[in-house]
Amino acid sequence: MADKDVAHTDERGYAPEPWWAGVGTWGALAMIAVGALLAAWIFLRLPGTPPEPTHGYYGASKVIALGLVLVGGTLLNRRRTRTAATEEANPQDGPQSG
């Protein structure tokens, strides 16, 4: 097989992003609120509550945890961006020996 028969591309075959990858800060806060409302719904045993409440609490805790991780990641990214912008605006001459 000749080299010209093989197509070379620089694209990599990454899997599609998960559904929650682009929700942003407000979406993550909404996920936390929805998880808390779901937990309260289960606690009050309102209609639609699963027969075994632990399954419902497990689902609510997953939604809350995912929202917390997304909020934390967003806040850390903002902090890194702000720190990088500050260092760019105020360049140092290198480490100062003292």
- What is the three-state SS of 42-97? HHCCCCCCCCCHHHHHHHHHHHHHHHHHHHHHHHHHHHHHHHHHHHHHCCCCCCCC
Which of 20, 60, 54 shows the shortest CA–CA distance to 40? 60
SS3 assignment, position 20 = coil
Tell me the percentage of the chain whose pLDDT exceeds 90: 40
Report the phi/psi class of residue 17: left, alpha or beta, with left for phi > 0 and alpha for psi in -120 to 50. Answer: beta
Residues 34-76: tens digit of each pLDDT: 999 999 999 999 998 888 889 999 999 999 999 999 999 988 8
Q: List phi, psi (to 5°) of 51.
A: -60, -35
Tell me the percentage of the chain whose pLDDT exceeds 70: 80
Residues 9-34: tens digit of each pLDDT: 656 667 788 877 788 889 999 999 99
Please say whether the beta carbons of 36 and 64 come within 8 A: yes
pTM: 0.68
